[in-house]
Amino acid sequence: MRVTKTLSKAKKQPLSNKRLTEILAFQDKDLEDIPELTDEQLAQMKPVHPEHFKPVKKTLQIRLDSDVIAWFKKSGKGYQTRINTALRHLMLKNARQF
Residue 29 maps to a domain: no
pLDDT at 66: 96
Tens digits of residue pLDDT in 1-50? 454 554 455 556 788 888 888 888 877 677 788 888 888 888 888 777 77
Residue 9 maps to a domain: no
**What is the span of the domain harbouring residue 78?**
37-97
Residue 69 maps to a domain: yes
pTM for this one?
0.47
Closest CA to 23 of 6, 47, 1: 6
Residue 82 maps to a domain: yes
More confident residue, 67 or 36: 67
d(C-alpha 26, C-alpha 80), whole Å: 44
More confident residue, 33 or 70: 70
Tens digits of residue pLDDT in 12-21? 678 888 888 8
Domain count across the chain:
1
Kindly provide the b/e burial profile for residues 14-24, where b requires at least 16 CB atoms within 10 angstroms of the residue's own CB.
Answer: ebeeeeeeeee
